[in-house]
Chains A and B, each alone.
Chain A
């Protein structure tokens, strides 16, 4: 028996109990098997049923000719041989490269399951978010690409929007002398660094109408990798401390974090349009994104609250990648344990200790001397989604102390960071 995928139509949402026999016995078409495996990866009940079947039902075909000869070799995995770590990694990286910007390593020893670096805003993250979106795009059906994602753009157009904005940063870095900025496109295809991102996106959409969705995916991913390389090159070469792209002047590292942030947000948009799920960024990435958001917010927040005099707000972001920051008119500082309050900043800037090591401010009172104080606690993912304009203040659970107005101003301002 062969299962016809069009007749069986297994979907991620519906259990496939009736198809498990055929699947376990290898009597499905490969398309049906892929669909069933996708469902099994999302359904404990069906995967357990399949496992039980697998353990109890023999492959009947052996009864035709009898089983093969017993293995004479032992079951060890010879280093470098089939199934060994080295062979698996080599085969895996041949079909899907590591995330752009992943440092090459000669070691094949697995890293610990837990995070290697629990905190710190020092790692640009765009490569990881590009890799995650790339895997999402690989899973999309042709029909998904035409679905409306956000801002009136389809999934296809949204990916090209990312491609366009990555191009602006690439053009800025290229103009600043980065060798890695050279793209396979003609130079004009990158756009001008000072070009408006939306206008640039419209130009890209007009120029890429003939691209297949696979071309869109490959060209976008290639450019994301070039952006990572260009920033790394600019950093290594002690290049310009700041560049202007898309009307925003900041360090290359901050630009890269912003690209990661936007890529993540739009990955969520695309996943929602396709009815799929994508993991959130790792804790180091989230920390970096949240740190950037707070640094961008501190000036408008200060302007909004200083009419009533000097103010200070302690922001505690909870969850993996979280931390405690202090916002006041002098800027943003992060509480880093024994190091005390450290000025927050992008990757290449040396950290500067600026505060006492006695602990983050608490805000049980509304004022400390002449300074109005407040504190807010919020999950780091909801905070980032708020800053990405994918959550509302009302929907984000917070705990406020001291002068709540200070926290409300910050949270209300957060979505203003988001662009299209």
Chain B
């Protein structure tokens, strides 16, 4: 499994989920080596400054915890850019709602890590919701305006599932897909064949692709 080392020689952390998911053998992120966690008094003082609207306190939190939170988020998302976004979201949330943490009763590093994890999971869910649509759209849209259709999409091992999903589409959506994909027509040609504006052809294609993505996701056959 590919790993990435944090600054200061932190323990290796999983760069991406395993094929079966993100759990399993990936070692959990650990704080940067050589840095002791804040003492309780330091956390109390830091939290007080954060509540009091002192941006330098947020800078201290960033300096101390950014690498760790980045590793936590990357372990879930497998995506460095997403992990950076998650890190930023967590620290901004802490600045905006500092009283949701109580240093007398909570543990700052653990709390921030849990927040980062949940936001990373949210990112994964959003990504999953987006990906089938994007990938199906990309696969089909590339064909619809191109000179010749690439039939790889239908030659996948789950092509039957794709054909079944297309067959289940409403007629007006199905005919656009069939013309654009199976007969390798461009949007303009589809519009002429169906006697509809080209924009209508495109909007029907978008609707068809969304429906296809949903169906394929339910079947577990999304690309």
Chain A residues within 8 Å of B, Cβ to Cβ = 23-26, 33-34, 37-38, 40-44, 47-48, 50-51, 54-75, 77, 81-83, 85, 87-89, 91-93, 95-100, 102, 105, 108-115, 127-129, 131-132, 134-136, 138-139, 276-282, 320
Contacts A26-B121, A42-B105, A82-B85: A48 and B115 contacting too (C-beta < 8 A)? no
Asked if A66 meets B19 with Cβ closer than 8 Å, knowing A61-B128, A71-B74, A139-B97, the reply is yes
**Closest CB in chain A relative to B146 CB, distance in Å:** 24
* In the bound complex, CA of A308 to CA of B110 (Å): 60
Are B128 and A65 interface neighbours, CB within 8 A? yes
Q: Does B21 contact A (CB under 8 A)?
A: yes
- Are B2 and A113 interface neighbours, CB within 8 A? no
Asked if B20 and A63 sit within 8 Å, CB to CB, the answer is yes
Query: A63, B52: Cβ atoms under 8 Å?
Result: no
Residues of B within 8 A of A105 (CB): 56
CB-nearest residue of chain A relative to B75?
Answer: A55
Contact A114–B97 (Cβ < 8 Å): no
Q: B121 contacts which chain A residues (CB < 8 A)?
A: 24-26, 59
Beyond A23-B118, A37-B111, A60-B21: 18 further Cβ-contacts under 8 Å? A24-B121, A43-B105, A58-B17, A58-B22, A59-B124, A62-B17, A67-B17, A68-B79, A77-B66, A83-B85, A88-B62, A95-B92, A105-B56, A110-B63, A132-B51, A135-B53, A136-B99, A277-B99
Give the Cβ gap from A59 to chain B, nearest Cβ, in Å: 5
Determine if A102 and B55 form an interchain contact, defined as CB atoms under 8 angstroms apart: yes
On whether the beta carbons of A68 and B53 are closer than 8 Å, the reply is no
- Which residues between 70 and 123 of chain B lie within 8 Å of chain A, taking CB atoms? 70-72, 74, 76-81, 83-85, 87-88, 91-92, 95-107, 110-111, 113-115, 117-118, 121-122
A66 to B135, CA, bound (A): 13
Which residues of chain B from 16 to 65 have a CB within 8 Å of any chain A CB? 16-24, 28, 38, 42, 44-49, 51-60, 62-64
Residues of B close to A108: CB separation below 8 A = 59
In the bound complex, CA of A102 to CA of B107 (Å): 28
Taking Cβ atoms with an 8 Å cutoff, the residues of B that contact A are 2, 4, 6, 15-24, 28, 38, 42, 44-49, 51-60, 62-64, 66, 70-72, 74, 76-81, 83-85, 87-88, 91-92, 95-107, 110-111, 113-115, 117-118, 121-122, 124-125, 127-128, 131-132, 217, 220, 222
| Complex interface: chain A residues within 8 A of B124 (CB) | 26, 59, 61-62
**How far is it, in angstroms, between the C-alpha of A51 and the C-alpha of B110 when the chains are bound?**
7
Q: Are B78 and A68 in contact (CB under 8 A)?
A: yes
Contacts of A111 in B (CB 8 A): 56-57, 59-60
**Whole-angstrom CA separation of A66 from B47 in the bound complex:** 40
Could you pull out 26 A-B pairs where Cβ atoms are within 8 angstroms? Answer: A24-B114, A26-B124, A41-B106, A42-B102, A42-B105, A44-B110, A59-B21, A65-B217, A67-B19, A68-B127, A68-B131, A73-B81, A74-B80, A77-B70, A81-B84, A83-B87, A89-B55, A89-B59, A92-B91, A95-B95, A99-B52, A105-B56, A135-B51, A138-B97, A277-B104, A282-B45
Residues of B within 8 A of A70 (CB): 2, 15-16, 78
A59, B76: Cα distance in complex, Å: 8
Q: CB-nearest residue of chain A relative to B27?
A: A55
Q: CA A61 – CA B126 in complex, angstroms?
A: 10
B54 to chain A, nearest CB (A): 7
Sorted from nearest, which 9 A-B pairs have the closest CB atoms?
Answer: A58-B21, A131-B53, A99-B53, A110-B59, A83-B84, A41-B101, A71-B80, A58-B23, A111-B56
Given A25-B121, A62-B128, A77-B66, is A92 in contact with B96 using a C-beta cutoff of 8 Å?
yes
CB distance from B207 to the nearest CB of A (A): 21
Residues of B within 8 A of A138 (CB): 96-97, 99
Cβ–Cβ contact B220 & A113, under 8 A = no
What's the Cα separation between A55 and B29 when bound, in Å? 9
Q: Which residue of B lies closest to A76 (CB)?
A: B7
Residue of B nearest to A71 (CB): B80
**Per a CB cutoff under 8 Å, which of B70, B78, B87 touches A67?**
B78
Pairwise interchain contact B88-A59, C-beta atoms closer than 8 A: no
- Report Cα–Cα, A56/B26, bound state, in Å: 9
Residues of chain B with a CB closer than 8 A to A129's CB? 52
User: Please, how many angstroms separate the alpha-carbon atoms of A98 and B63 in the complex?
Assistant: 19
Which residue of the partner chain A has the closest CB to B24?
A58
Residues of A within 8 A of B54 (CB): 98-99, 102, 128
CA distance A73 to B78 in the complex (A): 11
* B70: chain A residues within 8 A (beta carbon): 75, 77, 83
Chain A: minimal CB distance from B77 (Å): 7
Do B21 and A63 touch (CB < 8 A)? yes
Asked if B52 and A281 make an inter-chain contact with CB atoms under 8 angstroms apart, the answer reads yes
With contact pairs A65-B128, A98-B53, A128-B52 given, residues A47 and B21 touching in the complex (Cβ less than 8 Å) = no
Complex Cα gap A74–B3 (Å)? 10
Instruction: Report A-chain residues with C-beta under 8 Å of the C-beta of B101.
Output: 41-42
| Nearest neighbor of A82 in chain B, beta-carbon distance | B84
Tell me how far the C-beta of A119 lies from the nearest C-beta in chain B, rounded to whole angstroms: 15
Q: How far is the CA of A92 from the CA of B17 in the complex (A)?
A: 30
Question: CA separation between A42 and B99, bound complex, in Å?
Answer: 10
Distance of A381 Cα from B20 Cα, bound (Å): 55
Q: How far is the CB of B194 from chain A (nearest CB, A)?
A: 32
C-alpha spacing A23/B71, complex, angstroms: 20
**B38, B92, B100: the one within 8 Å of A139 (CB):** B100
Q: Hey, which chain B residues are within 8 Å of A33, CB to CB?
A: 118
Given contacts A97-B53, A98-B53, contact A41 B77 (CB under 8 A): no
Which residue of A48, A74, A113, A131 is within 8 Å of B42 (Cβ)? A113
Task: Verify B220–A44 contact, CB threshold 8 A.
Answer: no
A88 contacts B88, C-beta separation under 8 Å: yes
Cα–Cα, bound, A112→B47 (Å): 13
Contact of A113 among B21, B52, B60, B107 (CB under 8 A): B60
